[in-house]
Amino acid sequence: MQKKLTEFLKGYDRFAKTIVFCVDIDHAERMRTALAKHNADLVAENYKYVMQITGDNDEGKRELDNFINPEEKYPVIATTSELMTTGVDAQTCKVIVLDANINSMTKFKQIIGRGTRINEEYGKLYFTILDFRNATDLFADKDFDGDPIRVKPVSQDEDLSLVVIEEEENSVTVLDEATGEEIVFEKATIRYPDGLPLDGNWVAREKKGNREKVYVNGVDVSVLVSREMYFDQHGKPITISLKDHTKEIIQEKFASLDDFLNKWNSTDRKEAIIAELQEQGVMVEALYDAVNKEVDLFDLICHVAFDQAPLTRKERANNVKKRNYFTKYGEQAKKVLEALLDKYADEGITNIESIEVLRINPFDTFGSPLEIINEFGSKSNYLQAVKELEIELYKNIG
C-alpha cells in the first residue's frame, strides 16, 4: 500500500494533504514507519512529512491542528485509525486512503467526509480516494446519496503516477450505462467572486495571494494596520517623512543643484558618491520603494532634494539613443556601448562602471574583455568612452 500511495503522490503532488485510515493504532504506527521509508528524501527535510495522529500519540495529536490548517505545510501525510474519523475539518485534504475494513455506512460517510470540503483559495476542488480494502463498494449501496462520478479500478501492477494526468486529459472513455453514450467531462472554470453581480453572475477576478503569516509570541495573528518606522545612522527614529529626512542630508552636503551636478559629473565612479551618501544616512533602498525603483539614484536625489522631475533609467537610455551619439565609434565598439546602455537601463549606473561587466552576457558574445577593449584602441580609451556615455546620460539637468 505504502508503495502505491507514494507512487500516486509522485505523479500528483507530493505535498497534497493525505489521510491514511488504518485498522488500529498499531497498524497506523507501522504505516507511518513504512511511508517514511518510501519518502525518505522528504522526511529528511522535515520529519513531520509523515505523522502518526492517533489517540495515544501525544506528538501526533499536537500536530493535528497543523495538519488541518491550510496555511501549514506539515504534516503532509497523517496515518490514523479512529481519531480523525469525525470532527476534523481538513479543508485541503486531497487524498483519502482506505486501508481498513469499513462495514458501517455511517462510518464510511464520516471518513469520506474528511475530503469533501472545497477550498478554492488553495486549489482544493476535488479529492481522490485510494481504496485498498474494497470499502468503496459501499458507494453502490442504496443508502448512499447518488452514484460516484467516476470509479477507476486498477490492478496491483498498474502505475498510479499517471492516473491524475490521465484523468485531467480525459483519455479514459466513460459510457453512460443507461444510454451507452460517452460522458464528456468538462474541466471546471474557477471563479473568484468579488461581491459584484453582473447580469446575475458573479464577476470573476484573479485569485488573491495567500495571507502572510505573522506570529507574536508564537501565536498566529492577522495584521490589521501596519506602520513603517525608519532609524537614522545613529539608531534614532526618524520623526519626519523619509523624503524630508533625505532632503535635509543632501542639502547639508550640497548647497545647490549645481553643486551636486558638479560633484556627480566630476567623479569617475558614481558608486563612491552613493556609498558616501549612505554613510551620511541616505536610505537608498527605502527611497527607491518610496519613489520608484525604475529611476536612477541620481534622479531620486535630484527629485527629493531639488524638486527636479525624475526620469526612469529607460527614458534616459532612450534619450541617448535618439541623439545618435554612437556614430563616432566603429561598428563593434558601437555594439558594446549600446549593450552598456541597455545594462544601465536594466540595472543602474554602478553596474556599467566596472570592466568586469565585459565578462558577462551579452558582452561575452563580442569577445574577451581584452578583445573588446582593443576595439576602442586602449583601456584608457574604453574608460573614456564609458565616462562620455555617463555624461550623455545626465545631460540637460538643472
Q: What is the pLDDT of residues 246-287, one digit of tens each?
A: 888 888 888 888 898 888 888 877 778 878 888 888 887 777
Write the pLDDT tens digit of every residue in 59-112.
888 888 888 888 888 999 999 988 777 767 788 899 999 998 888 888 888 888
Q: pLDDT band at 211, cuts 50/70/90?
A: low
The pTM of the whole model exceeds 0.75: no
Query: 55 with 25: CB under 8 angstroms?
Result: yes
CATH T-level fold of 2-183: Rossmann fold (3.40.50)
Structure-block grid coordinates of residue 68: 488541518
Structure-block grid coordinates of residue 190: 474557477
Structure-block grid coordinates of residue 169: 486529459
Q: pLDDT band at 193, cuts 50/70/90?
A: very low
Q: Mean pLDDT across the chain, nearest whole number?
A: 79
Torsion of CA 319, 324, 327, 330, to 10 degrees: 40
- Residue 348's pLDDT is 80
Write the pLDDT tens digit of every residue in 117-150.
888 888 888 888 898 888 887 776 666 665 555 6
Given a cut of 60, whether residue 171 has pLDDT beyond it is: no
Q: Euclidean distance between the first and final Cα of the chain, in Å?
A: 76
- Residue 181's pLDDT is 79
Q: Among all chains, which residue has been given the C-alpha cell 464577476?
A: 203
